[in-house]
Amino acid sequence: MGLPMNASSRLKIESISAPGYEKVLYGENESSGMKAIISVHNTNLGPACGGIRLLPYKNRAEALEDVLRLSRGMSYKSSLAGIGFGGGKSVIIADPKDKSPELFRDFAEFVNCFEGSYICAKDMNIGSADLKLVKKHTKHILGIDGEPGSGGDPSPVTARGTIRALEATWEQLKGTRKLAGIKVALQGIGYVGYPVAAEIVKSGGKVWVTDTDPKALEKAKRELGATVVGLEEIYDVDCDVFSPCARGAILSSETIPRLKCKAVVGCANNQLKEVEDGWSLHRRGILYAPDYAANSGGIINVFVEYEGNYQEARALQMADHIYDTMTEIYKRSKQSGQPTFVIADVLAEERMTKRR
């Protein structure tokens, strides 16, 4: 493939064929060590926005599999969030210890090859200092903490949306969205999980928590009256809702049979290890809030920044609509008998077909 006109001659660019995706490019520069893949899945609703993930992938094939999965997921997440973003993602094939200004310079110029159809943001192993290096060479970037007009830390908005998803779920189970009396087992009480737990307790509910950070557990016990359990014990808690708020792929053939809950609602990404695990929850009668519907507060926060004149109040207000989206998913699932994760995909696809 020929070099795009606005790309630096330092970069070697290669087009990758990926059916169902609008544009996937591989870019590298041997001198800086920059090797990356950017995937734009869909731009029907707006420019593709998604974070930069930096990992020492075993090989290019593994990186490609990850970026395709993630960019498609961002299309669906943004669609369900009702915002004017499509789905994209970028992965840099590198060890975090090998970061350099030159690497991020070349990555920024790689982003420029997409001429605004892809907008990058923060993801795994990428901090605000890294984003600032990228911003020196591209304007197609959002979500830098401390920058004028930035949305900053999206955790409060993500937590707000997760609570709205929980309310919609509780209404399906109990006929009310008021969380008084609810019992929730939270796996992970970090930047999003903790405020979710705090809101549950404030509303009159009870929480059981686990985390790898002893200080976070002690804080939850002291300030929220939370019951602390072990990392594995969390799956066995007799509760109303199991809430994954840490790592992904934790709902599996090993863990699902252990769950003693009526529903699963959390802010973690990619909670289902396999598609079959969504069906397993459905067969067990466990109501599942599809993760990319429940946790879309982060991308909503970035979109409000993209609109200009960022206001947290507007981002929080937009996150409140997650309640309506979840209610629609549950309604359609009940009517059709299909699992909620299937219905969420259908609803996202319907919205993606409506062009700006």
Say whether pLDDT at 1 is over 90.
no
- Per residue in 151-196, pLDDT tens? 878 889 999 999 999 999 999 999 999 999 999 999 999 989 999 9
What is the reported pTM?
0.88
Residue range(s) occupied by CATH 3.40.50.720 in the chain: 155-352
Homologous superfamily of 12-74+86-135: Leucine Dehydrogenase, chain A, domain 1 (3.40.50.10860)
- Catalytic positions, written as ranges: 89
Residue range(s) occupied by CATH 3.40.50.10860 in the chain: 12-74+86-135
- Cα torsion for 171, 172, 173, 178, to the nearest 10°? 0
d(CA 90, CA 250): 24
Q: 8 pLDDT band (50/70/90 cuts)? A: low
Q: How many Cβ atoms from other residues are within 10 Å of residue 27's Cβ? A: 25
Say whether pLDDT at 356 is over 50.
no
pLDDT at 88: 96
- What CATH number matches the domain at 155-352, 3.40.50.720, 3.30.365.10, 3.40.718.10, 2.40.50.100? 3.40.50.720
pLDDT at 11: 93
- Per residue in 244-277, pLDDT tens? 999 888 999 999 999 999 999 999 988 999 999 9
Burial zone of 150 (CB within 10 Å; 0-12 exposed, 13-18 middle, 19+ buried): middle
Any idea which residue has 């090998």 for tokens?
A: 98
- Per residue in 88-127, pLDDT tens? 999 999 999 999 999 999 999 999 999 999 999 988 889 8
pLDDT at 4: 44
Residue 247, classed as helix, strand or coil, is coil
What is the average pLDDT across 53-82? 94
Say whether pLDDT at 134 is over 50.
yes
d(CA 185, CA 171): 18
Say whether pLDDT at 51 is over 50.
yes
